[in-house]
Amino acid sequence: MQHDHEGRDRVVYYQSRQLKPAERNYPVHDKDRLAMKYALSKFRVYLFGSGPFVVYTDHASLRTATNSPHLSQRMARWLSFFAEYNFRVEYKTGKLNPFNVLADALSRRPDYELAHITRVTTVLYDRIRMAYRNDESLASLVRFLAADKEAKSEWLSPRQRSRLH
């Protein structure tokens, strides 16, 4: 964020990324520190060696990251990384901060939520099976897969053959 000519905060850039599988297992406070580390890395060219700047967070534990007497190796590495920058962390509650609402909305789009079925019923299973059998482009694939060892690759289209592993 930066201030405009009237002193109002303006967002300069929104950035996000998916967590790697190992990162998904991090505790919440480590995920927030990871986000801060990612932001500092992403904008290093602008922030490194600059004057003091402020990192705003809606997670209060980021303010006290260095106060813990027992640091994990990961946290020790991150603190070493953070020490290269001249910044302070300030807490702003997420509910009152309009910029957090906008940033959170990007990751919480309801139209991107996955639909899921908790249990496949016999009726649904039968409907899916019949749909595969009646689909002209998939019927040959179903027949090929059902035939097992007697299957002949000539039953498949060139595109289907190219996708067999």
Q: What is the mean pLDDT of residues 61-78?
A: 76
Residue-level pLDDT at 110: 60
Which residues are CB-contacts of 78 (< 8 A; sequence separation ≥ 6)?
33, 34, 37
Could you tell me what percent of the chain has a pLDDT over 90? 7
Q: What is the mean pLDDT of residues 45-52?
A: 85
In terms of average pLDDT, the best of 3-12, 20-29, 98-107 is: 20-29
Q: What crossing angle do the helices spanning 122-134 and 136-147 adopt, rounded to 10°?
A: 110
Look at residue 134 and give its three-state secondary structure: helix
Residue-level pLDDT at 147: 83
Say if residues 164 and 156 touch (Cβ distance below 8 Å).
yes
Residue-level pLDDT at 12: 78
Question: Mean pLDDT in the chain?
Answer: 79
Q: How many other C-beta atoms are found inside a 10 Å radius of the C-beta of residue 71?
A: 13
**90 has a pLDDT exceeding 80:** yes
Please tell me whether the overall predicted TM-score, pTM, comes out greater than 0.85 for this model: no
Strands 53-57 and 9-10: unpaired
pLDDT confidence of 103, banded at 50, 70, 90? Answer: low
Element (H, E) at 131: helix 122-134
SS3 content of the chain, % helix, strand, coil (to 5): 50, 10, 40
Which residues are CB-contacts of 160 (< 8 A; sequence separation ≥ 6)?
140, 141, 144
Could you tell me what percent of the chain has a pLDDT over 70? 78
